[in-house]
Amino acid sequence: MQCSDEDMRVTPAGDVDYERGGSPYAAVRQPDPRFALRIRQALGDAKTLINVGAGAGSYEPLDLEVTAVEPSASMRAERPAHLSWAIDAVAEDLPFPDQCFDAALASVTIHQWRDLAQGLSELRRVTKGPIVLLTFDGGVLQDFWLKDYAPRLMVHEAGRMPAISLLKELLGGTSEVVELPIPFDCEDGFAEAFFGRPEAFLDEHVRASQSAWKFLSRDEISTAMDQLRCDLEDGIWDAKFGHLRTAPDYPGALRLLINHPEKA
């Protein structure tokens, strides 16, 4: 049974409530220009774009006419002044006519949608051309070294991510999946972005910008950070993973899925 629009608006979309407590999301989660370029290339010759789950506006191309959709008031408030206002709506019920946008973007958001199939169906309904999803491969996420310190965090985070095969099936048409290597100096502060900068996780502001930490207890986080701090001081982390400090990039879980509709 599908949720009504009223039901969708009463409770937070997904398993993280961005209305409570706030976070330094916009300060830590800056769009990385290398990912932004790849996204812009995937959008092709589009002129109009719908960005669903737009959040603070990461990866919105400045040269397109963008319509942003974001159900969280706190996230809408974090959008910088040079971006358009975001419409208060949910992915599962987009208030637009059929095929009114040239392209669509959903950047690190689909794991928060209450009804993935309905949300993707709505994206395809309102979009004539490519749909571009920036997401993570859950299976690969579980390989990240952070599992040695916060194993439940990585298992939970991986479980939140829809399978790539499911996304392709639900969207129909043809899809290309691009693996995006994560640069050492990645400006977008998701967990794998700090693959060679482990000290970053000791900063509570960094952790607060990564939603998966919200699912751990304070004791779990304290234990994980105490162990990481000790291993850094004793050289244990560097003995295991020190090669990552000089790696130019990391073949992590970040994926760009580019979907095109069936040809008439």
- The domain spanning residue 42 has which CATH number? 3.40.50.150
Residue 263: pLDDT band (50, 70, 90) is: confident
- Does the pLDDT value for residue 24 go beyond 80? no
- Does the pLDDT value for residue 23 go beyond 70? no
pLDDT of residue 26: 57
pTM: 0.88
Residues 162-214: pLDDT tens digits? 999 999 999 999 999 999 999 999 999 999 999 999 999 999 999 998 988 99
Is the residue at 200 inside a domain?
Answer: yes
The identity of residue 219, as a single letter, is D
Is the residue at 130 inside a domain?
Answer: yes
Is the residue at 54 inside a domain?
Answer: yes
Is the residue at 231 inside a domain?
Answer: yes
| Residue 132 lies in domain | 25-260
Is the residue at 147 inside a domain?
Answer: yes
Question: Would you say 227 and 147 are in contact if contact means Cβ atoms under 8 Å apart?
Answer: no
Residue 207: partners with Cβ closer than 8 Å, 6 or more residues away: 201, 213, 221
Say how far apart CA 74 and CA 7 lie, in whole Å. Answer: 19
Q: Residue 89 has which token pair?
A: 């709506």
Is the residue at 220 inside a domain?
Answer: yes
Is the residue at 16 inside a domain?
Answer: no
Residues 93-136: pLDDT tens digits? 999 999 999 999 999 999 999 999 999 999 999 999 999 999 99
pLDDT of residue 231: 98
Say how far apart CA 40 and CA 27 lie, in whole Å. Answer: 22
Q: How many domains does the chain have?
A: 1
Is the residue at 4 inside a domain?
Answer: no
Instruction: Report the phi/psi class of residue 22: left, alpha or beta, with left for phi > 0 and alpha for psi in -120 to 50.
Output: left
What are φ and ψ of residue 220, in 5° steps?
-60, -45
Q: Residue 241 has which token pair?
A: 């993973």
